[in-house]
């Protein structure tokens, strides 16, 4: 996972977005960059993009103001997750886990002083499609509580020998989704 390093410029808010495309070939920061360059922008508007597999790509230089929420870009960081075509919440569990962990790293870097918001809070648009308020456990002002007791490296589950690997059962996915939205 990409680690977060606080930029030198002032930041007090993080805006969350979705790409509004679920095509596999659009799950690429360079494709989104081409879309934004095609609109006459100087670069991709987002600082980071979270892919379906949970990986993160860096976009616009973090020292530069994003071009992601018109009239509300100054003092912000912009993060987009791939997905949300036709207003469908089709984001993967890996994306949601990565979003939570990465936002926790940002919160930690700012000592809890940044707030988290959806693009739709400042424009008339359903963006992002996913329930970021529940996933990040935001309060009414957009503040995120600590989700880990202290900044810890994210540990991978130990690999199982091939003979023990089993196809995950659907109830595991339901439990994971419940964990993501419940306290």
Q: Which domains does the chain have, with CATH numbers?
A: 13-147 (3.40.80.10)
CA angle 121, 62, 53 (to 5 degrees): 75
CB neighbourhood size of 91 (10 A): 22
pLDDT at 181: 46
b/e code 57-88 from CB counts within 10 Å (16+ = b): bebbebeebbbbbeebbeebbbbbbbbbeeee
pLDDT of the chain along its 183 residues, tens only?
567 889 999 999 999 998 878 778 888 989 999 998 998 999 999 999 999 999 999 999 999 999 888 889 899 999 999 987 777 778 899 999 999 999 999 999 999 999 999 987 888 777 787 889 989 999 999 999 876 655 554 444 345 444 444 444 444 444 444 444 443
- State CA 39 to chain mean position distance: 23
The region, left, alpha or beta by phi > 0 then psi within -120 to 50, assigned to residue 40 is: left
Residue appearing with tokens 């912009």: 78
pTM score, two decimals?
A: 0.77
What are phi and psi for residue 21, nearest 5 degrees?
-140, 135
């Amino acid at each position: 996972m990409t680690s977060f390093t606080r930029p030198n410029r002032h930041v007090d808010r993080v805006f969350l977005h979705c790409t509004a495309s679920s095509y596999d070939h659009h799950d690429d920061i360079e494709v989104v960059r081409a879309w934004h360059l095609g609109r006459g922008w100087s670069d991709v508007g987002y600082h980071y993009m979270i892919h379906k597999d949970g990986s993160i790509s860096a976009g616009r230089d973090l020292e530069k103001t994003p071009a992601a929420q018109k009239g509300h870009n100054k003092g912000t960081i912009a993060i987009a997750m791939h997905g949300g075509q036709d207003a469908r919440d089709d984001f993967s569990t890996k994306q949601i886990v990565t979003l939570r962990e990465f936002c926790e790293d940002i919160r930690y870097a700012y000592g809890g002083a940044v707030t988290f918001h959806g693009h739709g809070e400042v424009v008339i648009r359903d963006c992002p499609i996913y329930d970021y308020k529940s996933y990040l456990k935001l309060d009414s002002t957009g503040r995120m509580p600590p989700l880990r007791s202290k900044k810890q490296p994210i540990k991978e589950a130990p690999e199982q020998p091939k003979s023990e690997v089993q196809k995950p059962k659907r109830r595991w996915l339901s439990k994971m989704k419940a964990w993501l939205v419940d306290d």
